[in-house]
A and B are shown apart, each in its own frame.
Chain A
Amino acid sequence: MSSYLSIPITAHLQMEITNLLNMEAYYLDNGKYKEWLDLLSDDLTYRMPLRETLEGVGANNVSKDASFFEETKKSLTTRVNRLYTKSAWVENPATRQRHFISNIMVESTKNPEEFKVRSYFLFKRSRGSTHDIEEMFGERNDIVRKESNQWKIASRTILPDQSVITTMNMSMFL
């Protein structure tokens, strides 16, 4: 039994957090990266470990030492600033992308201001006039926090379901 008083997850709270994640997806899908950064807390940790194929039932297949992202708000800001230059060719011409976020589950934590949020993502991307449709899918484990009346993402761990990524690069944020 946990020793802290868990805060009930009301429909209202669930809706507020769902709105946060939907707003985030909207910003990312519309190139509003600076607005996206405003949804992230200053002490953010943003990670994306590799998935491994391991033998054994129930083996933890999240890599302990290899990643695609190990970011802070500062390093994400550098990545974002680059996307506003004229010569970040990977996004100039811009790709079209959608983040489909679903299966949002909210849990309380010891800190009454912070909630654990699990969500699924399906990312789709179209580039130029090519016929390929690129996709990636997986799960995200976030900590969200209310800071002076605004919801912020304080931590995110992205778990891709592929061990070999099939998008031709990973210029996207997930």
Chain B
Amino acid sequence: MIKKTLDEKAFQLLKEKMEQGLFPQWVLTDPDIYELEIDKIFGHTWQFLAHETELKDSGSYVTRWMVNDPVLLVKNRKGEIKGYLNSCTHRGTQLCTADHGNKKNFTCPYHGWSYNLDGELIGIVAGNKVYGEEMDKSEWGLREIPQVASYQGMIFGCLDPVAMPLEEYLGDMKWYFDILLGRSDGGMEVRGLPQRWVAKANWKATAENFAADPYHVQTTHRSTVELGISPEDPLYAGYGHQIVTENGHGINVITSKTGKARVPYQGTPESMWPMFKKNLTPEQDEILSGVTVFVGGVYPNLSFVSPIHGTEGHLHNYLNFRMWRPIGPEKVEVWCWFLIDKAAPEEYKEAAYRGYLGSFGPTGTLEQDDTETWARIVEVSKGLMMRDKELNYNNVSNYLMGFDRVEPDESFPGPGIAYPTTYLDAISRSMHENWFKLISKDLFVKEAVK
């Protein structure tokens, strides 16, 4: 089916262009590519589901989506977090439609089958009378998500039972997660449910916008310069390091012209600094003490930002994770979580939350302008010139920033390949490479075998 429309020649050309730091425009919203991505990328990589603080007690549950797979994530009596396909094994009805709650068991509204927190089928209405003794309930438990694992409280799922383990997949990103999520005693906590909205965008573009593109800050978010909140210097978001880690992940450590933030430890209360030092290695501490903004991503569709944001004259830091759930080539459902150090003073948490609402999420003044540019990319992507797979019109996007020109900075204290600027397309190119590796896997082999 796919072979009809995606020929090997187009892929060969794609590969050639990518090696030159170019990314053909046709792939962004191509419907066949989109189907391939869902299957070959989202079917085999780790996707973010929830943070452990969203599941406090035994019986706590949240419902989530891995693209189109409905997930029921529950904490069982042993305190383990279990992920099930949120679909009744009798006729496939969605079992639970609530966003969150607490239950001892889940009963399907269709014919009344019920399941316990371990996913076991424990009740069939009129069971023996209609199914007889031969019906073995243990065969009809909820289907488990093949892999569920967590790191620093972040719970991920993977639909591929033989995919590499989460920690191996995260690789060097773990070291940076240890800073973002592990700096405080007790870790981070999520406030409330994530905000959700539907943006007009392709998931690759939003993931790249966060993980790999500090260069857009000076123009997209220029209103903050006009308001006197951000510096006039167009390089202001470019100071620091861009770090490429394995599997398409990456992080930008943005500092400032001086190499250090205006305020140490992202403007957190001074009383918390000794705790950070205690929980971090000297190298991690060196980075945290001087950073202004951490922004990055875990491939394919999790991004994060940890900025310093001022409301009413005070500076606050928070951690925002967002998951880009593709719901078509031109739409993403954005899930946006606010996290804050559990150990932070309550007033600080509240003020940081207000700072978050003012900057990111659908009402955030920064993100509002991002949504406009994302939409403008997909709104022009249907043209014949854009869609031309033979690239007769040279419709390729430019990922040449720093290409073959900026060398890694060996003195950077963290792992990964660190480049001495964040105005760079190194993470983007690594995301593209990973994208290509995943979607082209086994694509043309089958044809040859036939």
Contact = CB atoms under 8 A, between A and B. Distances in A.
Contact of B199 (A72, A87, A163, A169): A169
Interface residues of B, number: 45
Interface stretch (A10-18, A60-68, A106-114): A60-68
A88 B224 CA distance: 9
* 8 nearest CB pairs, A to B: A66-B192, A65-B192, A87-B222, A165-B197, A85-B226, A169-B371, A90-B368, A170-B362
B96 to A, nearest CB: 8
B354 interface: yes
A157 B125 CA distance: 44
A67 B362 CA distance: 11
Given A89-B220, A169-B371, A64 B192 contact: yes
Contact of B311 (A53, A75, A168): A75
Interface string A145-174: 000000000000000000111111111000
B191 interface: yes
A75 B358 contact: yes
Contact of B368 (A65, A165, A171): A171
B372 A90 contact: yes
Given A65-B192, A78-B358, 5 more contacts: A52-B100, A87-B223, A87-B225, A90-B369, A165-B362
B196 A164 contact: yes
B357 A70 contact: yes
- Most chain B CB inside 10 Å of its own CB: which residue of A75, A165, A166: A165
Contacts of A88: 223, 365, 368-369
A54 interface: yes
Contact of B198 (A67, A72, A81, A165): A165
Contact of A168 (B192, B338, B371): B371
Contact of A54 (B98, B198, B220, B225): B98
Interface size class of A (residues with CB under 8 A): 35 or more
B200 A69 contact: no
Contacts of A82: 223-224, 227, 365
A156 to B, nearest CB: 14
B105 to A, nearest CB: 13
Contacts of B240: none
Contacts of B362: 68, 165, 167, 169-170
A50 B197 contact: no
Contacts of A165: 195-198, 362
A104 B196 CA distance: 29
B363 interface: yes
B164 interface: no
B368 A169 contact: yes
Contacts of B357: 67-71
A118 to B, nearest CB: 23
Contacts of A3: none
Given A52-B193, A74-B312, A89-B373, A169 B222 contact: no
Contact of A164 (B333, B368, B373): B333
A146 B93 CA distance: 54
Contact of A66 (B195, B311, B369): B195
B97 interface: yes
Nearest to A74: B312
30 contacts: A50-B193, A53-B97, A53-B99, A54-B99, A54-B100, A55-B101, A55-B103, A65-B191, A66-B193, A66-B338, A67-B192, A70-B357, A75-B311, A75-B312, A75-B358, A86-B223, A87-B219, A87-B222, A87-B226, A88-B223, A88-B368, A89-B373, A164-B196, A164-B197, A164-B333, A166-B197, A169-B197, A169-B367, A169-B371, A170-B368
Contacts of B361: 68
Contacts of B353: 70
Given A70-B357, A82-B227, A50 B192 contact: yes
Interface string B46-61: 0000000000000000
A90 B368 CA distance: 6
Interface string B357-381: 1100111010111011101000100
B291 to A, nearest CB: 25
B382 to A, nearest CB: 13
A68 B336 CA distance: 11
Interface in B312-366: 312, 333, 338, 353-354, 357-358, 361-363, 365
Given A66-B195, A79-B365, A89 B372 contact: yes
Interface in B247-273: none
Contacts of B226: 85-87
Contacts of B312: 72, 74-75
Nearest to A79: B365
Interface string B194-233: 1111111000000000000000000110111111000000
Nearest to A69: B363
Contacts of B99: 52-54, 163
Nearest to B103: A55
A95 to B, nearest CB: 10
A166 B227 CA distance: 29
Contacts of A70: 353-354, 357
B385 to A, nearest CB: 19
Given A50-B193, A79-B365, A166 B98 contact: no
A68 B220 contact: no
A63 B369 CA distance: 26
A168 B195 contact: no
B372 A164 contact: no
A130 interface: yes
